[in-house]
Structure 1
Amino acid sequence: MHEYLRAVGFSEIKDKEQLNLLLQMTEDGYQSERTSGNRGGSDFSERKKEFAPGMGIMLCGEYDEKENYHRNYYFPYFQGKQEKLYDSVTVERHAEKESYAGVCDDLSLGVSIIFYVQNAADLLNEKRLNQLSNCTVILKFTGLSISGKVLLPVVKGMTEEENTDAVLQRTKLIQAARDGDEEAIENLTLEDMDTYSMISRRIANEDVFSIVSTYFMPYGVECDHYSILGEILECRQVENSLTEEKIYVLTVESHDLVFEVCINQKDLLGEPQVGRRFKGVIWLQGEMVFQP
C-alpha cells in the first residue's frame, strides 16, 4: 500500500481488499489515458482518475497482443501549476518498473533536485522520437506530504527586491564556481563562514526557526524525499469526492523555488495562512513539459 495515498484523501484505506476496490474503480472509471511504446515493444499506458482538483490515482500498465490491459503499479499524483524552465534535465529509469526519476540542477538552491516523473508516457514518446536532448524542459514541481506543521513567520531583514537581488547574485556566484572561477569559490566560502558565525552567535539566545527562515534538503534514503521549510504564498482547501476528506493545497516558496504541496487536513498541525510557514517532509513529483 502506497504510503502517500493519505495525502490525496485516502487515509482510511487499511487493507488490500479496500485498496483493490479503489484501484479497480480507477481502472474501470479512468478519466484520461496516455499510451506509448516501452522498451519491450508493448504499449505502455497511464490511466488517471481525479478525486479532487488536480489530484488522484495514476495506474500504469501495458496492453498485450490481444489489447487486454494489465495493471502493473499505481501511485497517488498531484499536478501543480507553478512552472520553471530548466535547460538540462537528466532522466533515469527505475530498475524494477517502467517509472523514471528526473535530476536537474537548480542554482537558486545550489543543489541537484531529484524528483519522481509523473508523465512517463510523454517521456517515452520524446525518447522514442529522439527529441529529448533538443527540447527545452518546463517542470511543474509538486509535493505530497503526510506530516507537516505550520510555523509563524519571521521578521525579514531585507525587502523583497533586496532578497531577489541577493538570490540572483548568489546564483551567479554558484554558476561561476562551477565553471572554475576561484574568486567565486572564495566568495562563497567566506559567505558560508559568515553565515555559520552568525548562526553560532544567535543560537545561544534564539530558537533555530527564528534564524533559519527557509530550507530545502534531502530527507532519508529515498532520493526524491525532502524536508522543507518555506513561506506559504497561497492556501486553499479541496475535498476528495469519494471519501470527503479535506486536503490543504499550499503554494510554498522555499529558497526561491515555488511549488505546490498537498497534505491531508488530519496530517497538518496548525492553521495555514498566507505569510506563515510550512515545515514538513514531502515526496517530490514533477511533470515534464517538452517544448520543440
Structure 2
Amino acid sequence: MVRYFSAIGMSDYVDQRKLDVFVRNVLQEQSNPIYRYREPGTDTVYVEVKKYMGDFAVALRGKKEEDGKVNMSVILPTVQERTYSVLLDWEIEMDDPLIAFLIGEEEGTGAQLEISLLDLVECLMEKPADAGDSLIAAFYALSTEGKILLNVERSQEDEEAYRSEEEWRRQMLKRAREGDEEALEELKADSLAMEEDILERLEEEDIYSILEGIFLPASEELLGVYTIMGTILESEKVLNPYTEEWVYRLLLNVMGLNLTLFINPKDLVGEPLQGMRFLGTGLLQGAVSWGLTQFRQKAQDMFSEDSNE
C-alpha cells in the first residue's frame, strides 16, 4: 500500500522511515479528526485518524489493545473526490478486522468491482440494520504505473453506432437482471460474436488498436487491483498542499464505466491529453454512501407505491 502514496503527491513517503515519522506527527496533532467504533457484544474498539491535505488525506486505522494502547497498523493514502455508482448484490469482505473490501456488480456496465473500503469505522457505525441488496458506492483509482496511448480513430457514423450498441447492452443487461431469458441469451451471443471478431482481427492488428477499453483484475492474489485502459475525458493537475507536489487527475471512460484515476507524473509515460487513452494498473478505493443509498431506496419505494395505485 505504501507505494500508492505517490499517487496522492507524497512520492517521498514511499520511504518507510520517512513515513513512520509522518505517522508519529499525525498522531501527535490534536486537530486531526478521530473516529471510534465498538464492535457489538465485545470490548474491541476500532479507531481511525485522518490527516487532511487539500483534495487528499491519509487515514490511520488501528485497534485498541487490552492495555489501552491503540496500535495503528493500517496506513492508507486517500482522495476526497470520487465517482458514484450503484452496486448490486454487494457484500463486504473482511479477511482482516482492519482491512475490508466492498464487492458488487456495477449496475450500468455489469462489471464486478472489488473496492478497498475506506472510512471503515464510519461505515460500520452508519450501516443500517436492513441495508438492502443494492447500494451507492463512491470510488476512484490510484495508479503507480501507466502510459498514454493514441485514441482509436472513429468516424461520426462509427461513433453513433458505438454509442447505440453501448445503450443496447445496458438495456439487455437490465432486462437480464429482471429474469428475461431472451435478453440473457442475446448478451451471450453478442459476447461470443465479439470474441470471435477480436480473435480474427488479432491475426493482423495490435490488441490496443482493437480494444478501446480494458477492465480486468490484475492479480488473483490482490483484491481491488485492476488492469485499466480507458479514454481520457478530462485531464488536470491537482496540488497536494502538504508536500507541494502535483499529480494528474484523469476522468476515464472505461468500457462505459466513468472512473476517476490519480497518478503521479513521475509514474506516467506520455502526456495525458483529452481523447487519448490511459493504460496501466490501478487500485480501486472507495466508500459506501449510506445516506444516498437510503434516499434512493425511499424514492424507489414511493415510485413503486404510485405505480400500484
Provide the TM-score with structure 2 as the length reference: 0.82
Cα distance, 1:102 vs. partner? 0.6
- Superposed, 1:8-87 pairs within 5 Å as 8-13=8-13, 15-29=15-29, 31-38=32-39, 40-51=42-53, 53-63=54-64, 69-87=70-88
Distance in 2, matches of 1:156 and 1:5, equals 37
Change (3 A) 1:130 1:183: closer
Runs (5+) with no aligned partner, structure 1: none
- Superposed, 1:113-262 pairs within 5 Å as 113-127=113-127, 130-133=129-132, 137-156=135-154, 162-177=161-176, 181-221=180-220, 222-262=222-262
Distance in 2, matches of 1:55 and 1:14, equals 16
Cα distance, 1:199 vs. partner? 2.1
Q: Which amino acid aligns with 2:131?
A: L
Change (3 A) 1:14 1:185: closer
Distance in 2, matches of 1:92 and 1:104, equals 11
Moved more, 109-118 or 23-32: 23-32
Cα distance, 1:66 vs. partner? 8.8
Give the 3-state SS of the residue equivalent to 1:109 in structure 2: coil
Mapped contact 2:123–2:287 kept (Cα < 8 A): no
Moved more, 24-33 or 231-240: 24-33
Structure with the larger helix share: 2
Change (3 A) 1:172 1:44: same
Mapped contact 1:79–1:287 kept (Cα < 8 A): no
Q: Which amino acid aligns with 1:245?
A: E
Q: Residue by residue, what CA displacement relative to the aligned partner does 1:4-25 show, whole Å, maximum 9, x if unpaired?
A: 1222223234644222101112
Q: Which amino acid aligns with 1:124?
A: L
Distance in 2, matches of 1:132 and 1:123, equals 12
Q: Residue by residue, what CA displacement relative to the aligned partner does 1:213-254 show, whole Å, maximum 9, x if unpaired?
A: 112111112121110111111111123334333211111111
Cα distance, 1:160 vs. partner? 6.1
Distance in 2, matches of 1:145 and 1:194, equals 32
Give the 3-state SS of the residue equivalent to 1:104 in structure 2: strand
Mapped contact 1:56–1:76 kept (Cα < 8 A): yes
Q: Which amino acid aligns with 1:216?
A: F
Give the 3-state SS of the residue equivalent to 2:266 in structure 1: helix
Cα distance, 1:163 vs. partner? 4.0
Give the 3-state SS of the residue equivalent to 1:156 in structure 2: coil
Distance in 2, matches of 1:199 and 1:5, equals 37
Give the 3-state SS of the residue equivalent to 1:80 in structure 2: coil
Give the 3-state SS of the residue equivalent to 1:282 in structure 2: strand
Aligned-residue sequence identity (percent) comes to: 27
Give the 3-state SS of the residue equivalent to 1:132 in structure 2: coil
Provide the TM-score with structure 1 as the length reference: 0.86
Distance in 2, matches of 1:14 and 1:159, equals 45
Mapped contact 2:52–2:58 kept (Cα < 8 A): yes
Change (3 A) 1:13 1:164: same
Cα distance, 1:161 vs. partner? 5.9
Cα distance, 1:281 vs. partner? 0.3
Residue in 1 aligned with 2:303?
Answer: none
Cα distance, 1:120 vs. partner? 0.7
Mapped contact 2:148–2:271 kept (Cα < 8 A): yes
Cα distance, 1:270 vs. partner? 0.4
Moved more, 42-51 or 9-18: 9-18
Q: Which amino acid aligns with 1:49?
A: K
Number of aligned positions between the proteins: 288
Q: Residue by residue, what CA displacement relative to the aligned partner does 1:142-169 show, whole Å, maximum 9, x if unpaired?
A: 1010001111211235566654442232
Q: Residue by residue, what CA displacement relative to the aligned partner does 1:262-284 show, whole Å, maximum 9, x if unpaired?
A: 11110000001111111110000
